Amino acid sequence: MELLKKLTEAAAPSGREAAVRDIIAEECRRMGYEVSIDALGSVTAHREGSGAKLMLAAHMDEIGVIATYIDDNGFIRFGALGGLYKKELHKRRVIFSNGTVGVIAAEEEEFEKKPELSRLYIDIGAADKSEAQKRVKAGDTAVFEGAFCVSGDTVISKALDNRAGCYILLKAMEKLQSSKNDLYFVFTSQEEVGLRGARAAAYPLMPDYAIAIDVTDTGDTPSCPLMEVRMGKGAAIKHMDHSVMCDINVINSLKAAADQNGIAVQSEIMTDGGTDAGAIALTGGGVRTGGISLPVRYIHSPSEMASIHDINACIELTAAACSYEWKKGLSL
């Protein structure tokens, strides 16, 4: 779990992924992969093969905030980088890229009436605007604090969405032995703000197939929206989310790869949220796309929770997908 801990501890919100990108690029080079970095900061590691061209993508960025204005009293207004649950932000701690720590607070009476970001501010303990600007400037970004810990079979941390996906992809690359496929492992930028890095990375590749590795909600906690996915029951094969209807050939191929290797899997059908799969599927004339998802509780919070068993199942399935004999030129 040391690599996963290192990945989650990196502060890398959307568009500011350098801290985690450096870790990932170093790991890829250590394993002997050819590495390139595109204009949006996505990392691509290539393993050449004569078979089908397969793109596997996991996004590097995490949710965060960006300072937009500092008032005369030194309080910082901010905008969202990714999907924030506004009602849960009050009194949550954030840390800026230079190490400055602040607390999100609310104009309490107004916020209770209408929970909007405009009613929230970050308090860094500054006496006034001049003092605050010595530590934070408009345009500076921050992420939420949430220490990594292991509790039994679970890990709890900020940024499991989607550093766990990056970890799964890196470990599958390390595990991979033989494959005829032409493999592109892509660690994308700016997923949380519109699947942007995946779109830019997929266009020059135009793969035959693509698989997005990301997290998914679970349906196993009290009063949660009902869905089939359970934490501890294995890797989830994506059928759909709000951004994509997965290609049935990819779904069936992932199921076949799981069956061939005795990997525990479950079916993911999400009616909300999206992943890089949505952008990749619409690239060029279209790409046959699917997803491997890690069940995670409390997504987009500083205390995301996942099962180590499920993480390992996702690694096994991702590696099996890399070695699977994908059919080239498949037509409907």
**Active site residues per annotation:** 191
Closest of 185, 162, 163, 160 to residue 174, by C-alpha: 185
Coil, strand or helix at 213 = strand
Are 42 and 36 in contact by the 8 Å Cβ rule? The answer is: no
* Residue with the two structure tokens 């992420």: 143
307 burial level (CB within 10 Å; 0-12, 13-18, 19+): buried
Pairwise CA distance, residues 59 & 212, whole Å: 9
Pairwise CA distance, residues 197 & 191, whole Å: 6
| Percentage helix, strand, coil for the chain under 3-state DSSP, each rounded to 5 | 30, 30, 40
